[in-house]
Each structure stands twice: as C-alpha cells, then as structure tokens.
A and B are shown apart, each in its own frame.
Chain A
Amino acid sequence: MTTFRVTHRTTYRYDGDVGTSFGRAHLLPREGPRQTIREARVIVDPEPAELRDHTDAFGNTSTYFCVTSAHRELVVLAESLVEVAVVPPPTSPTPWEVVRDGLYTTSAPELLDARGYVLPSPRLPPHPAVTAYAQPSFVPGRPLVEAAIDLSTRIHRDFQYVSGSSSVGSTVPELLERGEGVCQDFAHLGVTALRSVGLPARYVSGYLRTTPPPGRERVLGADASHAWMSVFTGAAWLDLDPTNDRLVDDSFVELAHGRDYSDVPPLKGVIFSDSAESVMQVAVDMIPVEGG
C-alpha cells in the first residue's frame, strides 16, 4: 500500500477582468477497490460564491463552483491524501468472447452497468479503422486479460508519445493517421478498440507517480494529469495504461472514470468576460507520504 499526497493546481490568467466564472471539476479521487480517500478538497481563489460536490451518475465526485467577484486570475487547487492498495494482477483464462457473450445472460446489476460501456460514447463513435486495429489482439479463444494487455502493448509500440502533438479535442482517427499523441488519445484508442469487439471499456482519469531521472531531484509541479483505459473482465474491471504499457498498480491514483474524456474532464468552465486572452498553467504534484 502506498499513500500519496496529491496537489493539482490550475491557474488561469486573463488580460482583462472576468466578472463571473463557472466551473465543473472532477479533481477529487473516487473511492474504489484499489484506493481509499483520507482527505480531499477543492479550494478556489478568489473565494467562490458557491462550491459544491456531488456524486455523479458514474459514481465520481463532481465539483461545481461559481466565482462572482471580478478577477484576473483564477486558481483551482485540489488536494487529497489517498491510500492506494496493491491488487494482484488478474490471471483469469476466460476467453474474451465468453466475457462478451456473458454480458447478456443475466440481469445482474454489474452486468447491466457494464453493458452501458460497450456502447459508443459522445467522443468515441465506432470507426472501421479502429475496429481493424483491434483485430490482431482479439484472436478467437484468447483469454481476455492477455488480449487486453496485448492491445495496450501494441498501442505503446505503434504510437509515439509526443507532448503537444494533439489537443483536448483530438479524435481517435486523427491519432491513427498521425501516429503520435498523448495519454488521453491512447486511452481513447484503447477504449474504442475494446468496444469494437463488444467489450465494455471505460476511460479513466488520474495520476501516475513519476520518478525523476537518476541523480536528479524531483521537480515540484512536474507531474501531470494522466489517463488510461479499463476493461470489464466478467467479474471486475482491469485497468491498463497503454501510454506506459503497464498494468495499473499502486503508482496510480484514480480521479474519475466515464465513457470517455467528456464525462470526466478534470476542469472545465464558462466565463463572462470581454478579456481576449487567457493563459492556463497546471502544476501537479504526487508525493508519497512516509508511513501513510
């Protein structure tokens, strides 16, 4: 088990006054089989007129805020203390087709829930090229866990991680065409590919602990928000990180999951302003806490 203190600071600076800012954040980690939340809060500066959390339809903690005093800088700071447990890697030999077909055999709540994640989602419509990309991993009779890991490995091998190569609105076909992207794009590709063979797949937003290069000090604020994919194995969900070609373990903290990015953006908002320009700055720190 590892305990992390996570701080995620987003600063927006404007060249003119903003009268009102509305925000929606998915910045507080959710409870889950892997993680326990010891502390979590969002602090907004200037002092918001409203700040409210609720549990959304996916079970995530969703934060609403509204700042009504004029400002030129908006800071949204999320702080949490999270215990992450080590979960043994799954070894189930069940073939992926058996999991796929088993979804429709009973109306057990977890199966009904999982079926919703087979469907296309707002950002991830089915695409023939993605369906074709998925095929080599999903050969008949292959155990689901093996096939999903293979898919994750192939994404890691086939695509270049290039910071700044894509935008928040990039699509999966664009990634296939360009061959480079960031974690959000890789997770989207994986989710769409898993769905293309009829498997339930989720998009997960969170953080990954980074290790500084040998001999260097950890640089404060150098971490970043991360994203990966999750697939339903028939009994549980298996999280895989195609960006780093690894299974999600106790180096990862999950914030929220949904059908795709659009369900769980860390922060989005609406402002009322005649300011023309805004600059956004993000600093994330994920620091292991000794002894929890």
Chain B
Amino acid sequence: MLDADGGVRGAWTDIAALLENGSTGRLAADTRRLITEGGIGYHPPGSEVEQPWALDPLPLMLDAAEWAVLERGVAQRAELLDRLLSDLYGPRLTLRTGVLPVELVLGHEGYVRGWMRGAGTPPRRELFLAGADLARTPHGWHVVGDRVQSPSGAGYALANRRVAARVLAPVHRRSRIHRLGPFFDAVRSGLEELSPDSARIVLLTPGPQSETAFEQALLASTLGFPLVQGSELAVRDGRVWRRTLGRKEPVDVILRRVDAAWCDPLDLQAGSHLGVPGLLEAARLGAVTVVNGIGSGVAGNPGLVPFLPALSEALLDEPLALPAAPTWWCGDPAGRSHVLAHMTDMLIKPIARSEGRSTVVGAELSASERADLASRIAAEPHAWVGQEHVVPSTVPVIGADGSVDARPMSLRTFAVAEGGRFRVMSGGLAQAADEPARRLIRMGAGTVAKDVWVLGPVAVPAAPVLEIVRAPADMLSPRVAADLFWLGRYAERAEGTARLLRAVADRWADFRTTPEDAGGRALEVLLRATSAVTATGPAFGGPDPGPELLALLTDRDRPGTLAHAVHRLVGAAQAVREQLSGDTWFVLGRLEEVLGGLTSSAPEAADISGALTRVLEGLLALSGIAAESLVRDTGWYLLDAGRRVERAQHVTALLAATLCGNELGDAPVPAADDLVLESVLITAESIITHRRRQRTGVDSVLELLLTDPANPRAVGHQLDRLRADTAAVPGPDGGVDAALETVERRLAAIDPAELARRGPDGARAALRAQLTGLSEDLWGFAEVLERGRFAPGLPPRPLGPLQAMG
C-alpha cells in the first residue's frame, strides 16, 4: 500500500481514507454478515461442516500500468504451458531435442501416459483454465506456483467482488474498477467453442463435500451449465452421457473440478467414486473434451521453472515475460548441490504433491529433519526442487478487533482460452497470511481472502455484477432430484417438529403457572406423543421435561430432533445450491444461529417457545421463497413432493400418537382430552379453522386433518398435491401412480365419525389401525417414488485384477 518513501500508493488513496476514519470494525462486521447471508462457504479438508468464507473487506488495489504487465505475463505463461502440454502428449520435441530432461516429465505423476495421442490426430485443447500464484516483492511480481489441474478460486473471486462492492459501495462506485463479468463470459464462450451444442457442457464436481463446493455451484449457475457428479455420467457407445430423469443427454465438454487421477476408475485411480469408467478412453478418442486435459498436471511441475525461459524461446519464439521465484531442480547435479547448501533459505517442493510429500519451509526444519530431507532428495533427486524464498510484500488486513495490521499476501490470477488466445481475469483472488511471519500462503490454512481491484485508465461503465443464470432444471439428474425431494422433506420435517415442540412447550408453561390435574395429564400425553412422532424414543423422565425438550431442539447428532432436521436441510441445500435462490442462505444461516444460541442447560419454557417461534419464522420464509421465488419447473415439483410426503406423514403420526391410546384412562378426563386436542390442532396449524367452524369432538378434528380437501394441512390435500407433483416430474412411472392410489384408497375408506369412537378399554383401536396403515402406505409411496424415479446409480466397483502367477 505504501511506496518506498512511505507515501500512499496512488491506487490506495480511497482505502487509506477508510482506515483513517475508524470504520474498520463496521466494514469487517458488514463483510461477515454478507458472507453469512450469501451462504459463501468453504469446507476445510477434514472438517465435518462448511465454514464461512474468510474475506477481508479491504481490496488489493492494482493500478493500470502494473496490471498491464501482469496481464501480459499471465496470458503468455498460460499459452506457453498449453503449448508445452500439446508437445508432451504429442511429438515430444522438447524431450527429443533436450530442451527438457526426460526425468522431469516421465518422473512426474501428473504425466498421464494414457493421455498420449497418436501422430496425425486432430489438435486437442490441453489447458483451458490456468491459475498462477504470484507474489509481489521489492523487485516486482514473481510466479510462485502454477495451478493447471483444475484451478480453484475464480468463483471465490466473483463472490468476493459481490461482497466488497456492497461493503465499500461508495468507494466502489467512485473507482474505475475493471469488471469480472467479461472473464466469465469468456469462460462460457470458450467452453462453447469446444462444443457443437452449448447444452452439452457440464461442470464435473467431486460433490457437495468438496473443499470448494460453494464456488463450484456458483460457477455452474453463473455459467449456466449443470453441475454433475461422476455418478451422473456414463460412457456408452464411445461417448459420454448424462443421466437425467427418464432420459440420457449427450455430453461434449466436461469442465472438471475432479483431479485427473480420480476421473476414471478403469484407467486411472481404481476404486474412485468421483470419476466415470471409460472417460479416458472416450477422451482419447476425441468423443468428449475434458478440460483441463487429464494430463495437464505435469505442467504444474515446479521443476519446469528453470527451463521456462528456454521453453518460451523454443515454443513461443519470444522471451518469458513474467519471472518466477528462482528455482533449482535437484535432478540437475548443480541444482541439487545448490539446494542442499542453501536449504534454510528455500522452500523445498516435490515436483508433484502426493501423500507424504508436500512443500516444506527449509528454515523451519531442525538439523535432523534437514538431513532426512536431504537423503530423500538423494534417493529421488528428480522429484524435488528448491525455490528461493521470496518475501512477499504486505497488505493491510482488518483483525477481529477492528485493528489493522500488515500481512504477507499472494495473488492467484486466472486465464482462460477463448477465441484463440488466453484472456486474463481483470482481478483475481488475493490471499493474506494468517500471521505476519507466515512463509507459505495456502487457501484455507488460516488465510483471509481479498478482492482484487484493477483500476482502469478510463472510467469503466458501472455495470451490475454478473446476473445468475439458473441451470435449466428440466434436465435434472436423479441425484439432484433426490436432493431436492429431501430438501423439501427436511424443511417440512423441521417445520412440523418445531410446531410440535412449541405446542408442547406452551402446554408445559401453562401447567407450570397453573398446575391442574388435567393440564398435567395432557402434558404427559403430549410428551409421550412427542417422543413417538419424532421417533426419538421415550426419553422424557422425571418431573422436568426441560432438558429433553431442549435436546430435541438442539442435539444435531440425534435423528428426529429439530437440529438434526435443520442440519440435514442445510446439507441438502448445499448439495443443490446452484438450484436455489440466493435468499435461501440468509434464512438457513439464521436457523442455525437461533439453534446454536440455545445453550442454557436448564431452559425456561418461554426461552424454548421463543426460539421455536424464531425458527418457525425462518422456515416459513423458506416456504415463502419456494412459493414466490421459484419457477414451477421439475425442481419445484420435487421440492413440493418432499414437503407433501412429510406433512402427510407428520399429521398421521401426530394423530396416532395423541388420539388412539387410553393414556387418559378408561374414564377420560374430559378437560385433559380437550387440552390434548387443542395442542394437536395448534401443532397442525388448524386451530383457528376448527374454532371458526364451531365444531367440537374428535370426529371433527379427524375430518379437518385427514379428509378435508380444503385444509392445506389435511392429509387429503397433500395427496392431491402429490398427484400433481408426480405428474409434473418426467421419467418412467416406476409404480409411482399405483402406490399413490393405494394411499388415496386408504384415506377414502376413513370414516371420521366411526373412528372417533372409543372402545370399551378407552382406546381407539380402529383409528390406530387405520392410521398405521396410512402411515405404511405413505412410506411405501415415498420409497417407490425414490426408487422408481430418482434412484442413484450403483457405485462402480473395481473388478479384481489378475495377478501374474507363473
């Protein structure tokens, strides 16, 4: 930010002013809020759940002149690596003429022999999206790493911009900042160049558990291409197909986020569930274009660095524009002795990262660790490089308390092949280290991201940041269909559970203030019913239901609880986030916050009831989004079907657990009976209607909650909706129609007046039998729907290879 004389660099003037007027704490808080609301997440490896993305509000500022140099260098580097890959998988002139030592290439795990092409085959795109990690030093910018496998971060750059542009709205409007949109337009049209039909492009993801699942979904929705997992693709007849509901669609281009080794369990990593068997074969035949190429990893080899100037001359006929941090390859005896002699000033990097091999900071090693590393290098010299440790310049970062300090920073740039050249994103993903002395800056490892503002020489017309294009939902894969269905189910399950718990908490509160026999007995029935409806087992014991009620709200690890349903709801939403409206995250974030905030071990009924009201507000907002903001396409019908199945099931279970038994004795206490009925109606959100109709008695409750087609809470209404929903979802019937008919027939046979009568023992055995049957039929239907319409395919299994026995 400061120049050598301590003055503020031109581009930073506005930012410097912000730091001076003491608004840093507010900026940081605004940033965190927008990240939560936007559901911008990052899933650190090994962590069970996604965490909020860490973004510092202060952007990295780059002026036009500085950027112009970088832009040219980054584009040239991508071009060079692409040409190198074409050579290494084709004629291998760089090896044959000795420009590159064969050990550097043949000894690199990213060199995929199955990716080799025969002479005379048509040209193939090798590098499509290239990332370069840069560090700024007093001597200018240096490349410290190339990301050529499937570089991450471009989506986060976009997310950063959306947040920073709002947090720093006045500055953002005033500044002449290059837009990011054109880069993503170039990505889209670059992919379309590779495909005769833009509908045949997919983004291959490792799945919602992947580290950067958030940005993969963001990229898919921004580019308008479906996000697919390997299990949704299949190779048949020499080409790649995508399974959608009831159909298969051809795929011409795969933009992959799955590392090369995991792309094909047949020809690459056996046992991989992330890939597609036969993909390498289809790609070798040219029947599908996979970018970056499955063999691209070899170009991310840091051992290439010392050879790049010569390669640039040989392949591009021009000098290398952007220098890299000085690097020595240990496969060269002179390089090796230099590295061994200067280990403490270097980063020691394996040419390919693998298990047990990663970059180490020489200065952080003990003498014995250094000796150990030296012997590993001696055993496989070609596999190691030493890179001079460049000291990156620092940028201001706002700490948790609003204070500002200087941290070393790296910048990841992105280049994409489009229109015969590489176009560079006018910006990138800057990352500041977690502490001032950190020598290695890695995504997620405590680093904090920054937006990158490239200032134009002329005013850039203010344009809205890229609009989200929703991927066409009429060609949903079975996996996405299942996730949407379960999203609906968990949303409704959470809502039903929250309503039930609130009604019980309220009944408990009443009883505590006015302890009457009837209230006590009703509470007893309701607590037992709560355990039954949530299938959490009879766990209410002792005089105080508070702890168990609280557990049913907050224990995420226990199936049946509200927190469990919300957790699953969030998980299902994350699995299909490219299908959802942005507001969803705002609501889901609030839900988790409310539940996480209930920490008292001896809660008051009022606390529980209050929290449940806030949870219900959130869940209602969620169904509001579904009702008002989602297009009525296949996805919507699936979501709705999930809700309907769950609601019908919930009402059935509630009635079975409250009205069938003889808990209140052979001679029911009428007052207690009424209290239970009232709670049931409250839980089923039908109390007002019931009162308005001025009806009393169990038969009227049964009618209202089971058969009344006008009551949106009645089972009958859910069945009508399911009829419409299933008709709107494409695909073979698979027995769905018949299964739904079974449920409908069961319901039609119900006679509320008949079933309301108690037997001589005080129980309603006939009602119980009917409700049990209804429940079984509903489960049966849901199962048939899942299995018949969106069963996930079987996972690939390696077929035992043969051992040579002779």
Q: Bound complex: CA of A223 vs CA of B805, how far in Å?
A: 9
Task: Name the B residues within 8 Å of A98 (CB-CB).
Answer: none
CB-CB under 8 A for A225 and B796, given A119-B382, A270-B277: no
Interface of B is mostly: loop
Cβ contact of B804, chosen from A19, A55, A266, A271, cutoff 8 A: A266
Binds B, one of A32-40, A56-64, A132-140, A142-150: A56-64
Say whether, besides A120-B380, A263-B113, A280 and B806 are in contact (CB < 8 Å). Answer: no
Inter-subunit contact A50/B238 (CB<8 Å): yes
Contact B806 A207 (CB under 8 A): yes
A126 cross-chain contacts in B, Cβ below 8 A: 379-380
Number of A-B contacts defined by CB within 8 Å: 138
A261-285 Cβ-contact flags toward B at 8 Å (1 or 0) = 1010111111111100010101000
Check B107–A280 contact: CB distance below 8 A: no
B797 at the interface (CB under 8 A from A): yes
B97–chain A nearest beta-carbon distance, Å: 7
Give the residues in chain A near B281, CB-CB below 8 Å: 52, 64
Which residues in A have their C-beta under 8 angstroms from that of B793?
A: 272
Chain A residues, Cβ within 8 Å of B373: none
Contact of B102 with A56 in the complex, beta carbons under 8 Å: no
Task: Please determine whether B794 and A19 come into contact, CB atoms closer than 8 angstroms.
Answer: yes
Contacts of B798 in A (CB 8 A): 268-270
Query: Within 8 Å of chain A (Cβ to Cβ): is B374?
Result: no
The answer to whether A205 and B804 have CB atoms under 8 Å apart is yes
Query: Quick one: which of A23, A58, A266, A274 contacts B799, CB cutoff 8 A?
Result: A23
Name the distance in Å between A44's Cβ and chain B's nearest Cβ.
13
Contacts of B796 in A (CB 8 A): 270-272
Contact A182/B803 with A120-B107, A273-B794 known, Cβ cut-off 8 Å: yes
Decide yes or no whether A208 CB sits under 8 A from chain B.
yes
Chain A residues positioned under 8 Å from B278 (CB to CB): 22, 64, 66
A163 and B805 in contact (CB under 8 A), knowing A112-B102, A116-B106? Answer: yes
Binary interface encoding of chain A residues 89-118 relative to chain B, with 1 for a CB under 8 A from any of its CBs, else 0 = 000000000000000000101001001101
- Rounded to whole angstroms, the CA-CA distance of A12 and B383 in the bound complex is 40
The answer on a CB contact under 8 Å between B284 and A119 is no
Q: Is B103 an interface residue (CB 8 A)?
A: yes
* Total interface residues in chain A, CB < 8 Å: 61
Task: Return chain B residues, CB-CB under 8 Å to A166.
Answer: 803
Size category of the binding interface on chain B: 35 or more
Contact B802–A10 (Cβ < 8 Å): yes
State how many angstroms separate the Cβ of A188 from the closest Cβ of chain B: 10
CB–CB B806/A116 < 8 A: no
Min CB gap A154→B, angstroms:
19
Residues of B within 8 A of A21 (CB): 799
The yes or no answer to A172 lying at the interface (CB within 8 A) is: no
The minimal Cβ–Cβ distance linking B731 to chain A, given in whole angstroms, is 18
Pick from A19, A23, A119, A205: contact of B103, CB under 8 Å: A119
With A50-B238, A119-B382 known to touch, is A280 a contact of B800 (CB < 8 Å)? Answer: yes
Q: CB within 8 Å of A: which of B780-806?
A: 793-806
For A125, give the chain B residue with the smallest CB separation. B380
- For the complex, give the distance between the alpha carbons of A225 and B95 in Å: 35
Stretch touching chain A among B76-84, B262-270, B310-318: B262-270
Q: How far is the CA of A68 from the CA of B277 in the complex (A)?
A: 13
Judge if A220 is at the interface, Cβ distance under 8 Å.
no
Known: A23-B799, A183-B805, A224-B806. 9 other contacts (CB 8 A): A22-B266, A50-B237, A56-B114, A115-B102, A119-B107, A225-B806, A266-B804, A269-B266, A280-B802
List, sorted by A's number, 17 A–B pairs whose CB atoms are closer than 8 Å: A23-B799, A49-B237, A52-B281, A57-B116, A68-B236, A112-B95, A112-B96, A168-B802, A182-B803, A182-B804, A184-B804, A187-B804, A226-B804, A268-B801, A269-B266, A270-B277, A280-B800
Nearest 6 pairs of A and B residues by beta carbon: A226-B806, A269-B799, A57-B113, A227-B804, A116-B106, A268-B801
Interface residues of B, Cβ cutoff 8 Å to A: 95-98, 102-103, 106-107, 109, 113-114, 116, 118, 234-238, 265-267, 270, 277-278, 281, 284, 379-380, 382-383, 793-806
